[in-house]
């Protein structure tokens, strides 16, 4: 079988979600709307968190970074797909594909880390309220965000360097609307054993460790809440955690759903559609979950829109 290295071929083909020309305009409109909602919704969360002094707390610092990460995650995949559909093209260059893959790994890993950090923040606020302001100082919050970013960048760089050494076969079709690491490895003609081992190890670290931390935090949170004598205190504690739990369930639920779907489905097109569920949908819904279920955020939004209407 003919092999091609990274300098011998122009790139890959992103097969997208459908081959039906009649459905292409529908896909463009749908994903453009989803991307617009994602960007505007998350930008609004960031703006409100910065403008309202009552939201200058560790919880909303992490939420602002999660919103920024969601914007970047969606931007790394959706615009390229929309451009390809508009140009009636499936091409993506080798460098562009690896760059996109790297950003997806960074922002996907960052999402995992931020969700775990936010769970730790809720654990400290509910289980250790007297020490919360002492421990969760601004410098520690910023350090946790920077550390999460550095870890994910190193992981992405490691995977990218491993892919650079591979040679690829003549069948360069990626059955997705963006470049995913496992699907790129399937196109390689050279040995990918080390790459797959690295994927399993990093998956355990970037999925297993955050999930374990989230479970640990919420086991202690629930235990502390149940020991509260005040029903109002219980309601307030659960309400502050409810939004985060919904976001965690949405992100990991869709992620595991895609994994199970890809394992039992033979159709590559169906797995590509399933990928939308973890790479697009959670990032679009997160702002609504936090704004509709969070009392402080709803009050800040009400003040913001009242201020804007008074100016107009």
**Domains of the chain by range and CATH?**
9-294 (1.20.1070.10)
Q: Is 1 exposed, middle or buried (0-12, 13-18, 19+ CB in 10 A)?
A: exposed
> In the chain, how long is the greatest CA-to-CA distance?
71
pLDDT by residue, tens only, the chain of 312 residues: 445 544 455 678 888 777 777 788 888 899 999 999 999 999 999 999 888 888 888 989 999 999 999 999 999 999 998 988 888 888 888 889 999 999 999 999 999 999 999 999 999 988 888 889 889 999 999 999 999 999 999 999 999 999 988 888 776 888 888 888 888 888 888 888 888 888 888 888 888 889 999 999 999 888 888 887 777 767 777 777 877 888 888 888 877 766 666 656 555 666 666 677 778 888 888 888 887 667 778 788 888 777 777 776
* Segments in the chain forming alpha helices (H): 24-51, 58-75, 78-86, 94-127, 129-135, 138-164, 181-185, 193-203, 209-226, 231-264, 268-279, 281-293, 295-311
pLDDT at 98: 92
Judged by DSSP in three states, 87 sits in coil
pLDDT at 75: 94
For 186, residues 6+ apart whose C-beta sits below 8 A from its C-beta are none
pLDDT at 259: 66
pLDDT at 188: 86
| Token pair of 144 as six digits | 């946790």
Residue matched to tokens 């505007």: 40
For 174, residues 6+ apart whose C-beta sits below 8 A from its C-beta are 12, 13, 14, 15, 97, 180, 183, 184, 187
Confidence (pTM): 0.89
Residue matched to tokens 């504690």: 237
Number of CB atoms found within 10 A of residue 25's CB: 11
Sign of CA dihedral 296, 136, 230, 211: positive
């Amino acid at each position: 079988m003919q092999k091609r290295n990274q300098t011998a071929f122009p790139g890959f083909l992103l097969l997208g979600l459908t081959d039906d020309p009649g459905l292409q305009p529908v896909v463009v409109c749908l994903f453009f709307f989803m991307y617009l909602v994602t960007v505007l919704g998350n930008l609004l969360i960031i703006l409100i968190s910065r403008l309202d002094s009552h939201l200058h707390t560790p919880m909303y610092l992490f939420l602002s970074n999660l919103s920024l990460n969601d914007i970047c995650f969606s931007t790394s995949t959706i615009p390229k797909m929309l451009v390809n559909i508009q140009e009636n093209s499936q091409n993506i260059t080798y460098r562009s594909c690896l760059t996109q893959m790297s950003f997806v790994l960074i922002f996907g890993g960052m999402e995992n880390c931020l969700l775990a950090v936010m769970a730790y923040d809720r654990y400290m606020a509910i289980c250790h309220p007297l020490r919360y302001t002492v421990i969760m100082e601004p410098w520690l919050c910023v350090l946790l965000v920077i550390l999460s970013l550095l870890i994910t960048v190193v992981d992405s760089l490691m995977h990218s360097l491993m892919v650079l050494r591979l040679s690829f076969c003549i069948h360069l079709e990626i059955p997705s609307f963006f470049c995913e690491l496992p699907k790129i490895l399937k196109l390689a003609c050279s040995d990918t054993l080390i790459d797959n081992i690295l994927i399993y190890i990093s998956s355990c670290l970037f999925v297993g460790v955050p999930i374990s931390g989230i479970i640990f935090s919420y086991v202690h949170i629930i235990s502390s809440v149940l020991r509260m004598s005040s029903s109002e205190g219980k309601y307030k504690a659960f309400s502050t955690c409810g939004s985060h739990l919904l976001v965690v369930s949405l992100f990991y639920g869709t992620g595991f759903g895609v994994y199970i779907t890809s394992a039992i489905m033979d159709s590559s097109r169906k797995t590509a559609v399933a990928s939308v569920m973890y790479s697009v949908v959670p990032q679009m819904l997160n702002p609504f979950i936090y704004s509709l279920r969070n009392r402080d955020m709803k009050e800040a939004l009400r003040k913001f829109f009242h201020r804007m209407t008074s100016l107009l």
